[in-house]
Structure formats: C-alpha cells, structure tokens
Chains A and B, each alone.
Chain A
C-alpha cells in the first residue's frame, strides 16, 4: 500500500504574500502519494489546529507535511497536533516557505515554494515511526565535594524531594571554609546543621569517587571511604569540587620568591591576611600594605573582590596605608563597583601599572617599584606586608573525575561547561552537572544562581522517576557493524559502547538516553552501519533529488 501524505499549506494570516497558494495547491496535488492538500490562514491557532485534527481523522493519512513557518516553531506545535489526531509525531515534516522563501525574495516565488514542499514530501515519505519508552531512573543524586556549593546543592535538592549523597575528600564538611566564612561570604555553620538534620542527605567523608560508568538516570558509582568500597546507583551527578588558590610567584631582582608559610619575607595570601585581620592578634600592625592584582592572571574576578574587601578592612581596622598595584580592577561581579568606590573613598591608593612591579627585599621590608601609567613616572613604595596575587587552580583530583565522566577541561584545568550562555552548568554528558568554583572564576552570588539552575535541571530529569526516550533512534546494523570503535571514539556525548548481541557478535550499541542525536557517528561510520532515523542517508538524498524536479 502506498503511503498517503496530507499536505497543509498555511499563509500565516496573510504574512506570505508572494506565493500563489491556489497554483501551489494544484501543482502539489499532482505529486504521487499526496492525497489531500488543504489551505489555511492560521494553522497554529486553536481553530486551525482543531480543523487539522478533524481533517487528519477524515483522510487517515500516514504522513503529514506542513508548509508555512520555520520548523523551529512549527515542529513542536504540529507534532502535538498529530499525536492528538492519533498519528506519531515522527510522521511530520515541515516546509519552510515563510522565512526561507517568501520573506527573503521579492516577486513571485511560487516555483520555489513548490520545490520546498516537494523536498519535504520526499523526506516525509521515508520517515519511520519510532517506539517511545519510559525508562526507569534512579532518583538519587550524588554530589561530589564538601564546600559551600556542594552543601548548598544538596540542601536544595533534598528540599525538592530528591535523596542526596555527599561525597567529600575532606574530613568534615566545609573544612576548607572553616574560620573564613565571611571571606567567602557564606554562612556555612547554619548549612552544616541543616545537613545534619536532613534525613534525605547522606554524608560520606572522607570519601573519594574511584569509578563511574553509565548514563543519565543510571550511573553506577564506586566510592571509597577509609578502605571500604561503596557501590551505588545514582540518577545524576553534581560536581562541586570547588577551587584552590595558589600564590603566583613574585620575582625579586629576577629571582622568583613564593610567598605563604615559611616565605622569606612578609608575603602573605588574601586568606592569611583575612585571618590576621579577623583575630586581631597581630603583634605589630603593619603600617604599609601593598596588594598585587591582575598582573599575571586575567581571570581575576574572585581575587579582585578579595583584594577590595581586605584593603578596606585593613584601612579601617588598622589604619594602614594601603596600595593596590594592578593592571586593571575588574568590577564586573556583583557589588564590586560599589566596593571599589568605597575603597577609593576610604583612602586606598590604586596604582595602575602596565608591567609587573619590581620588588626588592631589604631587612624585612619590601620595596615595590612600578611605573604609574597616569603619572608617567616610577612610584616606589616601601611596605611591611605584601599580599601576593592569587591564581585560581582546580583542586587535586579534577582530572581524574573528568576522565571518569568524560568531561573536557578548559585551558586552566577547570571543567568546561557545555555552553556558557545556554547550558552553563551542564556538560555534553547528560546527567552530569557542575556548580560553583569548579567552573572557574566564580563568586558567591553566581554560585547561588548555579545551585538553582542545577536543581531545576535535575528536577526535570529525575523527578518523575522515568525518562522518556525514543527507542533505537540511532542504531548500528548488526550485520554491517564490524566493531571498529570509530563511533565510540568520535561520539561527543559518550553515548556509545561495545556490547555483545544475541549471536555473540560484538557491535556498537547507542544508548537511547545519552544520545543527543547529532549524527556524527552515522556520517563517520566506515561501514555505513549506523542508521540515524530522521536523517538517514536515503532521507537526505531524497531531499536533494527532489530539488528542481519540476
């Protein structure tokens, strides 16, 4: 039996003017297989949709083509209509005669419109419907990390009803932020007690994730805690491993000197200065303090905030003279501009210099020499305390976790999120997310945003307990596949693995859940064994063959 195709033409309420719809209808109805052609002037309105449903129920077509607006919009609307009318959403194809035909040309474009509809018809004829299945998922979430972002994420997830396990390498939660909460602007004690009182949250410390495999909804993870191996199933993984800071080495007369504990001079980190300011037990208040900022690391959002806060505190509390040597002060984070003004207001001196300042250490005092860009002259400051520039680094173990979950790292070694604008907390591997400092330069206000978006994405993924997936949308042919592993190597979503099928042969099996339907494997497969429904070779070629047939 031949496939019956129904074509619906829509003139978008008169927005398509330069196409002769009557002539188009006549020419399309001559295409073999097309059983009905309907004209409408508002197919996406409720009325139009109702009419479309009743026409489909009358005519019983196998496939439907809608010629009108861009598929970006029409696809989801009309697939729903088809499903209401009892057809599969997969029996649909759109012909974009508005954005890509009527609106980009002057004069009559009926010929091109007919061609576009013909292309859609020849594609839709070859479409196959796919079975949809609901796959059960584990609703448990694993949060890796023990800092502010990890605890925040766990609390939020538990509040929306998902059981959470926290696995942290630290001895206790929040150990790295102990005593410096206000430096990081977070109230970790309240959060820690909230975690203790939460029956939905299980805390494993000190624990390390040693292996993980699987896909969204079904990750098998092994966690090692004090020599004991715990094997668990999780639906989603959140990486919240945070960041560490390193003092960038300052060069004294050509020799690099690293500050911090046991350093030859009074070179300290921001955190050390904060502790000194906080406990107030310093033997002698430093009279002059100098900060270095933004001379070797461009990503200085967090160090800028720390510098500004500490500079103001030192100025107010100790009354010291404070100098900040910097290339630029970057004030794009929340509240930074205000802090900068406040710092200027209370007497902090900012020295803008193009090249790194030259340092000399003499009898415990540090002399800093830099060329002030505005004065055009060298500025020399003798100080008691130098706060070195800090560079943010990924914590130990980041690489191992990235390997485990197939995540790429960025140039500095932090997790590379999929798309900074659209999916800032997601990865190309579905079901794995990252929040907080492990994404690179981040401060508290952005972290809160991250936690909200991760919670929302995980809720969408796991809350119903099932993931709906189309079965075998992309599939390797058992006969043709020779297990050459090319597809496994190229798949950006690590959705393919080798698996033994019934007759004992090993072939590539594509996970229906993890696959994002890009078709890279189908194009690269040397045996042409991978079939990608919707964009099969014959479906693409049929469209090409339909071009210019008239």
Chain B
C-alpha cells in the first residue's frame, strides 16, 4: 500500500463529513483510505504505527471539534496519542509530521477535503525535495 494516506474518522464527525463531501461531489486524493472508528479516542498508537509499517505515507486522526466531542474527552485523548506517535516516529528517524490530528465537525465537508489535500500535497512535496 505504498503512498496511501490512512484517515481514522470518528463516526460522529469526520465520517459524516466525508460522506457529505461525497454527496456534494467534492474531490480529494484517491490515495486516501478511511477507517471508521466509534470515537477518535479509540485510535491507539499501534493502529497508526501499523499503517506506517504497511507503507502508508501519512496517517490522519480526525475527531470532533474541541468541546463538542460526542464522548466528551475522546478527541483530547486522541490528540495525546497522536503526539505520542509523533515522538515515536521522530525517534525512529521517520517524519513525525506524517501523523496529524485534526478536529472537524460533521457539517464541514470542505474542511475535510482541505485537510486531506493539504496533507497529501505536503507529503508529495517533501518526497520531491528528497
């Protein structure tokens, strides 16, 4: 799965946002793969690292907006875990910026597409630079 971007999407916010993007016929990179989770807080470091082990270019964790998490603290826990993963990647001399956490609300398909595109483009540019 070389070059894929894996997005863990909370089923209360980012996943409906992605669906809405589809309904509005917005376009994003074909390399994005979405995995549905019940809350961003479910995503563990092992899940993110597994994606990199399998050759993913980047990993996104998308949860509810701050203060609007369906499960109250899920998004903040997810952020902690993403930061933990970034440290691990840096220690392994991989780019810690390849994993990112974003907050999104279910009615923000444009934001979803922007986040996805920004990450995909950033990674493409950094690859070209190497």
A positions within 8 Å CB-CB of B: 70-72, 96, 98-100, 102-106, 109, 112, 115-116, 119, 408, 419, 428, 490, 492-493, 516-520, 522-524, 532, 534-535, 537, 540-541, 543-545, 547-549
Contacts and interface: CB of A to CB of B under 8 A. Distances in A.
Contacts of B41: 518-520, 523-524
Nearest to B3: A548
A524 B51 contact: no
A540 B18 CA distance: 19
A548 B1 contact: yes
B37 A535 contact: yes
A104 B47 contact: no
Given A523-B42, A523-B81, 9 more contacts: A72-B16, A72-B19, A100-B34, A103-B23, A104-B27, A518-B70, A535-B42, A547-B4, A548-B1
Interface of B: 1-2, 4, 6, 15-16, 18-23, 25-28, 30, 33-39, 41-44, 46-47, 50-51, 54-56, 68, 70-74, 77, 81
Contacts of A106: 27
A109 B74 contact: no
A493 B41 CA distance: 14
A105 B18 CA distance: 13
14 contacts: A70-B19, A72-B16, A72-B19, A104-B21, A104-B27, A115-B33, A419-B70, A518-B70, A519-B39, A537-B44, A540-B47, A544-B56, A547-B4, A547-B56
A96 B14 CA distance: 14
Contacts of B56: 544, 547
Contact of A105 (B16, B27, B38, B54): B27
A345 B9 CA distance: 55
Contacts of A492: 71-74
A146 to B, nearest CB: 30
A64 B18 CA distance: 24
Contact of B35 (A419, A428, A543): A543
Contact of B39 (A518, A537, A543): A518
B36 to A, nearest CB: 7
A548 B21 contact: no
A112 B34 CA distance: 11
B71 A516 contact: yes
B6 A544 contact: yes
A98 B74 CA distance: 28
Nearest to B73: A492
Contacts of A104: 21-22, 25-28
Nearest to B30: A105
Given A72-B16, A109-B30, A490 B73 contact: yes
A128 B26 CA distance: 36
A437 to B, nearest CB: 23
Contacts of B30: 105, 109, 112
Contacts of B35: 119, 540, 543-544
A99 B42 contact: no
A541 B46 contact: yes
A224 to B, nearest CB: 31
Contacts of A105: 27, 30
Nearest to A534: B38
Contacts of A520: 39, 41-42, 71, 73-74, 77
Nearest to A547: B1
B50 A419 contact: no
A99 B54 CA distance: 25
Contacts of A408: 72
B103 to A, nearest CB: 15
Nearest to B47: A540
